[in-house]
Chains A and B, each alone.
Chain A
Amino acid sequence: MPHRIRRYFFFGMTILAGIGLGIFIGYRVVPVQNPETAPDTLRIDYKTDYVLMVAAIYHQDGNAPAAEVRLSFLGDASHLKTIQTAIAYAQERGYAPVDIQKMLDLADAIQDLTKNEP
């Protein structure tokens, strides 16, 4: 192999090795720490608790459009699906029946709201 080509070859190989080490360092050794995240990345138990909060407010004021606005905080495409997921989790985890009922009421209200939308 000519000397010049050999130099290019080893130069390329060391770049690749460096990239490999850089990726290892960037993902494993010193990953991006504590990024400020959006609510859609919240863990399901926190999401469920948020839905419960919205349901509790709705239970008090009966304002479904306001509840829909509050649910949009979670950033999910379907509010109804978000509530249903939360209800399923709450049932699985043994939440108080009164809390589950509040979420069911909220689901009904959001469903009605969706139906009435043009």
Chain B
Amino acid sequence: MNHKGEAMSEERYFLENNTSPVKKGGYWYLVTGFFLGVVLGLIYTWWINPMVYQTTDPASLSDTYKDTYRSTIAQVYVATGNLERAQRRLNLLEDENPVYVLGAQAQRALAEGNAEEARALALLASDLQSNGQLPLVTAETISPDVSASATPRVVPTQTLPLATSTP
């Protein structure tokens, strides 16, 4: 009797809604919710609260900051005349063609009326080109033993932990 009543009820439901009660909506709402959650999580981690890199290297600086860094390297070179050290510092910026980048920046500096800066950049570019560039020296290839060398290396070494990031 009871079973018969339930069967009739389901039959009426099916007739009225043209579907079974189990299939109505199905489980797609779970998939939708999960997908929505993943999207929200990605929006949070990529835009709202992205990773903040605490210990970066000069190569990761924006172009404007790289220009300032490069300009400082050139001015130090003018002051000290130490081409090898300038080369090492330039390598930290990981420019594909340091001479070309220095030349281009010198032209920009000249156009902006910074003659002294332009001269320093051009001089470094010229000396690098005429003396032949040293092989690429990166933080990984520099000996961490600073105190043991006759001329202590002032460029960063690999003894510090690698760049880390925190959310």
Contacts and interface: CB of A to CB of B under 8 A. Distances in A.
Band of interface residues on B: 35 or more
Contacts of B103: none
Contacts of B105: none
Interface string A68-102: 00100100000000000000001001111001000
B58 to A, nearest CB: 6
> Which applies to chain B's interface (DSSP): helix, strand, loop or mixed?
helix
Given A34-B60, A53-B72, A93-B146, A22 B39 contact: yes
Interface residues of A, number: 52
B152 A57 contact: no
In the A-B complex, the 6 residue pairs with the closest CB atoms: A22-B41, A18-B37, A26-B45, A94-B147, A14-B33, A60-B79
Nearest to B36: A15
Given A31-B51, A31-B165, A49-B89, A23 B157 contact: no
A16 B40 CA distance: 10
A14 B42 contact: no
Contact of A96 (B37, B50, B79, B151): B151
B37 A57 contact: no
A37 B52 CA distance: 9
Contact of B29 (A7, A31, A54): A7
